[in-house]
C-alpha cells in the first residue's frame, strides 16, 4: 500500500492517538505524524464523523472515540490471553521438546492460565487454575521483576519467601539482586527452586502500557533438560513473547 494513501495517513493518526494516554491537540497530532495541517484536519473530521475520534471543545484536544474503544474491547474479549498465546506455546513446545505454561500475576502468586505438555505430564506440574510462589518459580520471578517499583516493593514486603528446596531464594536482598539480573537478561531462571526435579525459564509478555500482562515459561525435569539446556532455548522464548507483546500494542507508541 502506498504510504501516501488516505488509509495509511488515517492509520498513522490513529496509531498516535491510541498510543498516548492523554488527549492531544491538533498541533501535536500534525507534528507527530508529519502530515500537512490540511490533511490532518480532513482526517480528524472524518474520524469524528465516524465516532472513531472524539473532540473536547473546551480544551481543543482529540482522543479515542467510543466506537474505537468498543472495537478494542471486542477484540480483547475475543482474543483473550490464552487464546492469543496458544499457537506460540504449541510451537515452543514442538521446537524445544519441553513443557510450556502461561501465567499471570494474581495477588502474591503466579496463576496458571494455560499449559502445553511435551509427552507425559509431570505429576507435580502446575495445572490451569493452580498457583505457584513468586520467589521460587521462573514465571513468578519474571512477573515480579517487571512490576513498577512501588508495586514490586509492596509484593516483596508481603512475600514470606518460604523455602521449598535447598536452592530456594529466601533472602530479600538476594531476591532483589536476582530481579535486577532478570531485567538485564530478559528472562528468568528457576533451577530446582520449587521442586528438586524441575528447572525452567520464563519471559514476560507486555501490554500496551508497558506493564507485564503475563509470562510464558519453558520447563522440564532436570534429567531431560537441565538449566543450561533450557537457557539455550531462551532466544526462541524471547522472540515468542516479544511478538505477543507487539500484538498487544507494546512498543507501538510514537514520539512527538
Confidence of residue 3 (pLDDT cuts 50, 70, 90): very low
CA-CA distance, 248 to 226, in Å (whole number)? Answer: 32
State the cell numbers at 225: 533438560
- Ordered strands of the 198-206 beta sheet: 131-133, 109-116, 99-106, 212-221, 198-206, 188-191
At residue 20, the pLDDT reads: 73
Q: In this predicted structure, what is the pLDDT of residue 210?
A: 86
* Nearest Cα residue to 84 out of 219, 210, 216: 216
Show the domains of the chain with their CATH numbers.
6-75 (1.10.10.10), 79-247 (3.30.450.40)
**Which residue has cell 531464594?**
169
Predicted TM-score (pTM) of the model is 0.71
Of 244, 194, 250, 196, nearest to 80 by C-alpha is: 244
Q: Kindly list the distances between the CA atom of residue 4 and the CA atoms of 16, 17, 35, 36, in Å, as whole numbers in the listed order.
A: 17, 19, 10, 12
Give the chain's length. Answer: 256
- pLDDT per residue as tens digits for the range 133-146: 999 999 999 999 99
Give the whole-angstrom CA distance, residue 195 versus residue 29. 53
* Highest-scoring range by mean pLDDT, 67-71, 96-100, 119-123: 96-100
For residue range 10-55, what is the model confidence (pLDDT) as tens digits?
A: 988 988 887 776 788 999 999 988 999 999 999 999 999 998 999 9
Amino acid at each position: 500500500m502506498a504510504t501516501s494513501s488516505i488509509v495509511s495517513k488515517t492509520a498513522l493518526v490513529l496509531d498516535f492517538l491510541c498510543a498516548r494516554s492523554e488527549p492531544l491537540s491538533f498541533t501535536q497530532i500534525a507534528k507527530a505524524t508529519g502530515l500537512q495541517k490540511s490533511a490532518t484536519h480532513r482526517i480528524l473530521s472524518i474520524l469524528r464523523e465516524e465516532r472513531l475520534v472524539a473532540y473536547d471543545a473546551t480544551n481543543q484536544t482529540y482522543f479515542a472515540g467510543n466506537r474505537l474503544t468498543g472495537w478494542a474491547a471486542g477484540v480483547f474479549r475475543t482474543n483473550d490471553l490464552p487464546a492469543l498465546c496458544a499457537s506460540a506455546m504449541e510451537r515452543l513446545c514442538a521446537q524445544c521438546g519441553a513443557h510450556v505454561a502461561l501465567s499471570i500475576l494474581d495477588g502474591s502468586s503466579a496463576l496458571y492460565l494455560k499449559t502445553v505438555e511435551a509427552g507425559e505430564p509431570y505429576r507435580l506440574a502446575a495445572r490451569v487454575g493452580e498457583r505457584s510462589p513468586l520467589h521460587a518459580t521462573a514465571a513468578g520471578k519474571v512477573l515480579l521483576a517487571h512490576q513498577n517499583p512501588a508495586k514490586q516493593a509492596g509484593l516483596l514486603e508481603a512475600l514470606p519467601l518460604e523455602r521449598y528446596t535447598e536452592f530456594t531464594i529466601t533472602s530479600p536482598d538476594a531476591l532483589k539482586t536476582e530481579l535486577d539480573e532478570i531485567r538485564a537478561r530478559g528472562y528468568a531462571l528457576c533451577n530446582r527452586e520449587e521442586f528438586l526435579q524441575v528447572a525452567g525459564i520464563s519471559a514476560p509478555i507486555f501490554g500496551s502500557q508497558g506493564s507485564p500482562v503475563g509470562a510464558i515459561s519453558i520447563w522440564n525435569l532436570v534429567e531431560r533438560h537441565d538449566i543450561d539446556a533450557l537457557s539455550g532455548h531462551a532466544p526462541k522464548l524471547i522472540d515468542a513473547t516479544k511478538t505477543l507483546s507487539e500484538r498487544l500494542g507494546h512498543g507501538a507508541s510514537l514520539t512527538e
